[in-house]
Structure 1
Amino acid sequence: MSMERFAQAEAALKAGNRDEGIRLTAEELTREPDAPVRVYQNFTALLIRQKLYDQAQHWAEIATSRYPRDYDLWNILGVALRRLNRYPEALKALDRAVKLNPKSMTAHINRGNIFNDMKNGPAAIEVFTRILRQGPTNAEHQRSLGRAFWNAGDLEKAEMRFNLAVKLKPDYVDAWLDLTSLTADVKSAAETLPVLDRAVAALVDSHRMREAKAVMLRRAGRNKDSEDYLLSLLTELGDQGWIHYQLGMTLADFDRVRTNAYLEKAHELEPDNAEFQMALAESYSRTRHGDEAQHLERAYQLLKPVIGKAGDGAGPVKVASDIFVRVADYDAADALGDFQHLGRLWASNGRHTALLSHLARVRTPEDRRELLHQHRIWGELIETAVARRPITHPAPRQPNGKIRVGFMSSDLRAHPVAYFSLPLFEHYDRARFEVYCYSYYTGQEDPTQKRIAGMVEGFRWNPDIGDRDAAQLIADDQLDMLIELGGSTHMNKLTVMAYKPAPLQASWLGYPHSAGLKAIDYLIVDPFMLPEHDGLLIEKPLVLPHGWFALSAGAFNERVAVQNPAPVARNGYVTFGTANNPYKYSRDLVRTWAKILARVPNSKFMFVRPEGGSESFRENLLAIFAEEGVSADRLRFEAVRGAHLPFYNEMDISLDTFPQTGGTTTCESLWMGTPVVTLVGETLFERLSYSSLMNGDLPELCARDVDGYIAAAVTLAENPDRIIELRAGLRERMRNSPIGQTTQFAHDFFDLIEKAVTGKA
């Protein structure tokens, strides 16, 4: 290959025309595979600089096969494989480089960096200790050794090395960032702020340190201080994209309108910044005011052009996955990675919330066990961090003959979690129990929260408290058992459970899977939800005698009446439908719904979801239905949120999602007289609807495989008299079932707690 042609390829790559640059080089190297080693070296190094790691790996492997004794090519191959997270292969390549040139430090440094990536502290310590013998004043290597000690759990030595790095190189931003992160990890966000003030003073022109200070103020729960600081920087420095970006992130939980405005400005100032564009897409996907469907559509259109530029980290991939699934773009969602890769990526980066949407991706028994493993990856990560700063426990309280129970949830307000838990607060025996509640809700107190606070011995509402302080507050209340109701959903603090603030701890209601923490002793279920096989729960099950919950008047009342007869009697055809969240959908699920419609002549399907107003959502679903011969005129989209109950009066049969089944949605459907057909799976999240239907004595609506699910739906659709009968009696059936017995449910629940606390469970 001529150097002139290589220069053309290099110029194309630098100009951003990657396809052209790669094409030129590939053509020439294919035509002249014996090109000089320098061509391969320059090209693969350029690909690394352009972050085209998969291409770099491909050509470096070809090059090393032709020039197996070239040190630089093996080193480049190792770097490419490292960037692709293929660490064992990268180490093998770098070992070859070291053998070829033992005295060169580059391959040794790259090996040490990989050991740090792998969290293999001891191996990284050995590498960087040896390197530093040759140059102890190298700040970058001191920082790398600090990271190695951090990974090894030797936090004092890690802090010493980071301090030495910034002393050697006061303007070393990455070392300052590591020092502040370590301080926050070992101590607290509040104790980290003085370190950040030192860093800002040392790097007066570094926006990264000022940005870190704003983030740390936010982590310390001082959102208003973070906002004020950023606004002062806006006055001092003028419009800068990063300031607007951080203002948007600071306000995200409080003011979505202003958040969007700040993120739009950041995007306007830096239109090529993929991180800003991704954040704007995520914010629009979470926007609930105004036209929610159009906000979602805007999010989707913002996401598509940056998905290849935002990186393959846990954060960008989660945002992309959420949006793609929400608009039913399953091809794009699948391209992000397989079940194991995505789950482990999220878990190992502490993103428990991503695992909730991952439940719906389970397909096989192996997936179910892999999902459990992913939750433990997250749990071990949190347990390691929590062990560095344990809380203190006061001396046991004086016995008063009562069991003290705590309920932790930020949803003890106008929210389904509160509606399902209200019977416990209304009917517990105050002679036997004391109840405390813990909420971190960032909004305003509403009547439901106020009502609950008035019914219990203590209601601790702390919107700005950190996890460790929240755990200490609970420990100081000297509970006998703490029950968390929210998992890792928005504004909840599952990590608090890792501190073990109560001697016994349990999960109930908010998260339909083992959370992943060994500090949670029990998972409260009912006989129908209990997994069919051992090994599908981390916690010990506490089994209620009947249902998992009971209906409260807050959620299930007469405000929306059931219209009789059923729609099939009025229309002459059956209307299927769903109000379930699209994160529970999949291509296979939607195709199953389409097959049901194809087998029931003239039937229609109704999506009662705010996403229904999104053009992309409609088009993607219509395409799947069309593959099964179902025309667009048989699908109906009702773009509503919160006002969906009346639409059950236009739906004959609700088709449940699977493998993650409905919970609140199933109950609402039954309450509105619309029978639900469900597919029963092996583990907890596949059995929520099964519990409601069996407690309602409706076993014929519970299928055990996809063919049975289709058959159950078609059979019911072919029996309009049965649909009409169910419509007329389902509400009363629910009232008379165990689900409707609120007082009995509360007694059963607290009896179970007493058995656990007294060691009789």
Structure 2
Amino acid sequence: MTETATSAEAYLDQGRALLTAGRLAEAQALAAKALSEHPGSAELWNLQAVLLRQGRRPAEALAAAERALALDPALRKAAANRANLLMDLGRPQEAAEAFGRLAAEEPDNGLFHDGQARALLRAGQVGPARAAMTRALRLTPAGAGAWLQLAALAQRQQGPEAALAVLEEGLGLSPDNSALLEGKATALRQAGRRTAARKLLEDVLARHPDWAWPHFHLGDLLADEDRPAGLRHLRRALELQPNSVEHRLALVQALARAVGPDEGTCLDEAAELCAQIPPGAPLRPAQLKILRDVHARTCAFDAGDRLGDFKTLGRAFAAAGLHTAFLWQLARVRTAEDRRELVEQHRLWGEGAESRAARQPIARPARARGDRIRLGVVSADLRRHPVGYFAEPVFAHLQPDRFELFAYAFDRPRGDPMEAWFAERATFRRAPEASDREAAQIIADDGLDVLIELGGSTAGNRLEALAYAPAPRQASWLGYPHSSGLSAIEGFVCDALNAPTEPGLLLETPLTMPKSWIAMGASAFQGAPAIDARTPQERRGALTFGTANSPNKYTREVLRAWAGIVAQVPGARFAFVRPEAASQAFRARVSAEFAAAGVDAERIEFHPVRGAHLPWYETIDISLDTFPLTGGTTTVESLWMGVPVVSLSGAAFFERQGRSILTNAGLADLVAEDLEGYRRIALELAVDHDRRRRLRTGLRDQILAGPLGDTEGFAADFYDLIARWVG
């Protein structure tokens, strides 16, 4: 009995359905099979062109489109695909001619006029493009592509206000145009004008409650400040467009950022939504980052690895301007080659940021050097936050005869008492809706001698503002354990213990503090719980290892090392003091890694805590550090609670934070040089109960008597260092 042959039309229907469902890999396999049976079908060759374009294989897609046209020269969709592919391949003049021919044949087809306009814009012919743009928009609401392209060009060359002017011009021709309204909302958000963006989106939804994109943008905008409302809009956007990967990942991101009693449930829902994204779906770097962050927080190591190798993924993040994605890259370093590649990824990001800044330079008022050095710091974390605690000594021990201190914050105030404390001790400027360029101009107008950024690309900070070089000397300190990548940042505050062992692992000049690169501010552990003189092992009957470090720093190697250590200590336990501990996905994957080493689930403790985690150190005898990305604040916190930390040191700064802190706390012998040494130190400390008992009650005094506790001496060293650097 023979199988009934599948017709070309049936294959087309199946292929289009798979494409609509986002199942690209299956659609490509089906198209290949269909063409083997129907090689003379122009429609199938055109479908193949569409699928290859979706799969980012434009040269092969162009060949498929041209094969379709050879079979059927009148197939307009293939001609349009060919024109778009010429654009993809960087051949805009040919694309303009192709779209022009289509527009001449169908003068009432606005999409062809729009395609011609987009190609002309890409070719730099703005004047001829404008006529085609206007025709396109008057003929069809879908003819807004060139307007969006011109707005993007204006954004790059002149900034967000110029982009908004282009979009307003287009809206004058088509006031309720969905694409232009979305472009305006996006431009307002990029300009930092959240209030105006929110009003626009709410006005659009009042008229069009079933449009998905305003729900998407409003949900994304509200997710951090009003999570229930943000999630409601994002869920509605996905309900309206269930196959939209963009809407799905926006919901994933909002869920993953949730804090509170339902944090674990939200993280599990985010992980489930990630698993529903079809394999092979084309994703932008920003979308890969969202996936990667959820995989990291739930220890989905295999899924994370499938997103891309270290070099490919890191360079994609750099090209997309996603500095925030690099922190996870630090944890993935395995070899000396990886370390050098990581530096290159940061440098490439910096080149892009400085190229963007160069297109819109800021004004730099002339200023003669005065008697005092004008020192500025920029951070969103001058509050009750680890950065605030470690910056506190510089503000507490001012040297007003030598320095004039400025502080800049470009986030919204939190109503934190420490915010007011910092603001009282410096000329303080806050501008939450300023763009990066506007932030740079605010800084430049103060005529600083030196500017220090404290936050890297963490939430609320404005690293890209430093790409405009608003101060003649700029440096990094505290917030990010690696070179930023900006050549405009010349200095990097460190100490001799955590400075990289190879000069090429730092792009900036090391500004080396004589003792420690940090000291604990007086507010750092105010209200920290008292320490029970008995060790947890004495009180609980079993020794407990543990960590409060973020899963972003975990790797499979880290979990296996921890599990192996626990397995060698009879009855020992391991405690995870993390908000992710409320996630079932996190618990299951961690438990599986420990089970592989012979540690059953009953020996693992999960404490789902966010923020108020210091009391949980009362349950831990020994903290085990992450590697290669070592802990900073968590290491200091553990020591302050009388819990020794075992750390593994490497060559780069981010691998040496533990070395600096432990050495300056008088515990240099707890720093290992290799993984075998790490295991050995942990196991030796596990049986040295007398030492652990002494450290439990003596570490606080030991810290305060050393460089970590000498805030006045630290501030004096810091100001001397900056004065020498400025010259």
TM-score, L = length of structure 2: 0.90
What residue in structure 1 maps to residue 235 of structure 2?
Answer: 264
| Alpha-carbon separation, structure 2, partners of 1:94 and 1:265 | 38
1:416 counterpart (386, 401, 405): 386
In structure 2, relative to structure 1, the CA distance for the partners of 1:290 and 1:165 (3 Å cut) is farther
Give the aligned residue type for 1:184: Q
1:466 matched to 2:466: no
What residue in structure 2 maps to residue 140 of structure 1?
Answer: 115
What residue in structure 1 maps to residue 107 of structure 2?
Answer: none
Q: Is the 8 A contact 1:605 1:636 kept in 2?
A: yes
Q: List aligned pairs for 1:396-475, cutoff 5 A.
A: 396-397=367-368, 399-456=369-426, 458-475=427-444
- SS of structure 1 residue aligned to 2:291: helix
Q: Is the 8 A contact 1:278 1:310 kept in 2?
A: no
What residue in structure 1 maps to residue 87 of structure 2?
Answer: 113
What residue in structure 1 maps to residue 226 of structure 2?
Answer: 255
- SS of structure 1 residue aligned to 2:646: strand
Q: Is the 8 A contact 1:677 1:713 kept in 2?
A: yes
What residue in structure 2 maps to residue 55 of structure 1?
Answer: none
1:595 counterpart (541, 555, 564): 564
Displacement of 1:129 in angstroms is 7.7
Identity of aligned residues (%): 41
Q: List aligned pairs for 1:46-57, cutoff 5 A.
A: 46-49=47-50, 51=51
Q: Is the 8 A contact 2:49 2:64 kept in 1?
A: no
What residue in structure 1 maps to residue 502 of structure 2?
Answer: 533
1:360 matched to 2:334: no
| Alpha-carbon separation, structure 1, partners of 2:33 and 2:435 | 57
For residues 718-737 of structure 1, give each alpha carbon's deviation from its aligned partner in whole angstroms, at most 9, with x where no partner exists. 22222222212111111111
In structure 2, relative to structure 1, the CA distance for the partners of 1:292 and 1:95 (3 Å cut) is closer
Displacement of 1:717 in angstroms is 1.0
Q: Is the 8 A contact 2:443 2:471 kept in 1?
A: yes
Q: Is the 8 A contact 2:15 2:31 kept in 1?
A: no
Which is worse superposed, 233-242 or 367-376? 233-242
Give the aligned residue type for 2:47: L
| Alpha-carbon separation, structure 1, partners of 2:419 and 2:429 | 11
Give the aligned residue type for 2:346: H
| Alpha-carbon separation, structure 1, partners of 2:150 and 2:574 | 56
What residue in structure 2 maps to residue 719 of structure 1?
Answer: 688
In structure 2, relative to structure 1, the CA distance for the partners of 1:273 and 1:94 (3 Å cut) is closer
Which is worse superposed, 635-644 or 551-560? 551-560
1:518 counterpart (487, 494, 497): 487
| Alpha-carbon separation, structure 1, partners of 2:445 and 2:657 | 35
| Alpha-carbon separation, structure 1, partners of 2:658 and 2:38 | 66
Structure 2 residue ranges without an equivalent (≥5) = 105-112
Displacement of 1:220 in angstroms is 2.7
What residue in structure 1 maps to residue 270 of structure 2?
Answer: 299
1:566 counterpart (516, 535, 538): 535
| Alpha-carbon separation, structure 2, partners of 1:720 and 1:44 | 74
| Alpha-carbon separation, structure 2, partners of 1:21 and 1:96 | 20
| Alpha-carbon separation, structure 1, partners of 2:361 and 2:316 | 27
Q: Is the 8 A contact 2:49 2:60 kept in 1?
A: no
Q: List aligned pairs for 1:151-230, cutoff 5 A.
A: 159-160=126-127, 162-170=129-137, 171=140, 172-230=143-201
| Alpha-carbon separation, structure 2, partners of 1:453 and 1:519 | 27
Which is worse superposed, 576-585 or 696-705? 696-705
Displacement of 1:530 in angstroms is 0.6
| Alpha-carbon separation, structure 2, partners of 1:281 and 1:482 | 36
| Alpha-carbon separation, structure 2, partners of 1:584 and 1:406 | 31
Displacement of 1:214 in angstroms is 1.6
What residue in structure 2 maps to residue 391 of structure 1?
Answer: 362
| Alpha-carbon separation, structure 2, partners of 1:168 and 1:44 | 31
Give the aligned residue type for 2:226: D
For residues 588-607 of structure 1, give each alpha carbon's deviation from its aligned partner in whole angstroms, at most 9, with x where no partner exists. 11111111111111110000
Which is worse superposed, 562-571 or 609-618? 562-571
For residues 116-135 of structure 1, give each alpha carbon's deviation from its aligned partner in whole angstroms, at most 9, with x where no partner exists. 4xxxxxxx467558879989
Which is worse superposed, 490-499 or 164-173? 164-173
Which is worse superposed, 517-526 or 184-193? 184-193
What residue in structure 2 maps to residue 648 of structure 1?
Answer: 617
Q: Is the 8 A contact 2:114 2:144 kept in 1?
A: no
- SS of structure 2 residue aligned to 1:306: coil
For residues 56-100 of structure 1, give each alpha carbon's deviation from its aligned partner in whole angstroms, at most 9, with x where no partner exists. xxxxxxxxxxxxxxxxxxxxxxxx2x654567x7599799989x9
What residue in structure 1 maps to residue 584 of structure 2?
Answer: 615
Give the aligned residue type for 1:710: R
In structure 2, relative to structure 1, the CA distance for the partners of 1:463 and 1:133 (3 Å cut) is closer
For residues 242-293 of structure 1, give each alpha carbon's deviation from its aligned partner in whole angstroms, at most 9, with x where no partner exists. 2211211222342223211221222233333332221111101101133211
Displacement of 1:237 in angstroms is 2.0
Q: Which runs of 4+ in 1 moved over 6 A?
A: 17-29, 91-98, 103-108, 129-137
- SS of structure 2 residue aligned to 1:38: coil
Q: Is the 8 A contact 1:163 1:179 kept in 2?
A: no
How many residues are treated as equivalent by the alignment? 703
| Alpha-carbon separation, structure 2, partners of 1:742 and 1:328 | 38
1:580 matched to 2:581: no
In structure 2, relative to structure 1, the CA distance for the partners of 1:358 and 1:161 (3 Å cut) is farther
Displacement of 1:308 in angstroms is 3.8
| Alpha-carbon separation, structure 1, partners of 2:43 and 2:283 | 26
Q: Is the 8 A contact 2:84 2:95 kept in 1?
A: no
Structure 1 residue ranges without an equivalent (≥5) = 52-79, 117-123, 150-156
Q: Is the 8 A contact 1:9 1:24 kept in 2?
A: yes
Q: Is the 8 A contact 2:495 2:513 kept in 1?
A: yes
| Alpha-carbon separation, structure 1, partners of 2:236 and 2:54 | 32
Give the aligned residue type for 2:277: V
What residue in structure 1 maps to residue 14 of structure 2?
Answer: 12
Q: Is the 8 A contact 1:678 1:689 kept in 2?
A: yes
| Alpha-carbon separation, structure 2, partners of 1:85 and 1:23 | 16
Q: List aligned pairs for 1:629-648, cutoff 5 A.
A: 629-648=598-617
What residue in structure 2 maps to residue 330 of structure 1?
Answer: 301
Give the aligned residue type for 2:239: E
For residues 31-79 of structure 1, give each alpha carbon's deviation from its aligned partner in whole angstroms, at most 9, with x where no partner exists. xx6x55326x654543454x4xxxxxxxxxxxxxxxxxxxxxxxxxxxx
| Alpha-carbon separation, structure 2, partners of 1:136 and 1:754 | 66
In structure 2, relative to structure 1, the CA distance for the partners of 1:499 and 1:132 (3 Å cut) is same
Displacement of 1:571 in angstroms is 3.0
In structure 2, relative to structure 1, the CA distance for the partners of 1:164 and 1:3 (3 Å cut) is farther
2:523 counterpart (550, 554, 564): 554
In structure 2, relative to structure 1, the CA distance for the partners of 1:24 and 1:659 (3 Å cut) is closer
Tell me the C-alpha RMSD between the 2 structures: 2.9
In structure 2, relative to structure 1, the CA distance for the partners of 1:141 and 1:373 (3 Å cut) is farther
In structure 2, relative to structure 1, the CA distance for the partners of 1:419 and 1:195 (3 Å cut) is same
Displacement of 1:25 in angstroms is 7.2
Q: Is the 8 A contact 2:528 2:614 kept in 1?
A: no
In structure 2, relative to structure 1, the CA distance for the partners of 1:346 and 1:555 (3 Å cut) is same
Q: List aligned pairs for 1:277-296, cutoff 5 A.
A: 277-296=248-267
- SS of structure 1 residue aligned to 2:276: helix
Q: Is the 8 A contact 1:402 1:433 kept in 2?
A: yes
Displacement of 1:556 in angstroms is 2.3
In structure 2, relative to structure 1, the CA distance for the partners of 1:309 and 1:316 (3 Å cut) is farther
| Alpha-carbon separation, structure 2, partners of 1:348 and 1:377 | 7
1:688 matched to 2:657: yes
In structure 2, relative to structure 1, the CA distance for the partners of 1:28 and 1:462 (3 Å cut) is closer
Which is worse superposed, 493-502 or 17-26? 17-26
| Alpha-carbon separation, structure 2, partners of 1:600 and 1:481 | 52
Q: Is the 8 A contact 1:277 1:302 kept in 2?
A: yes
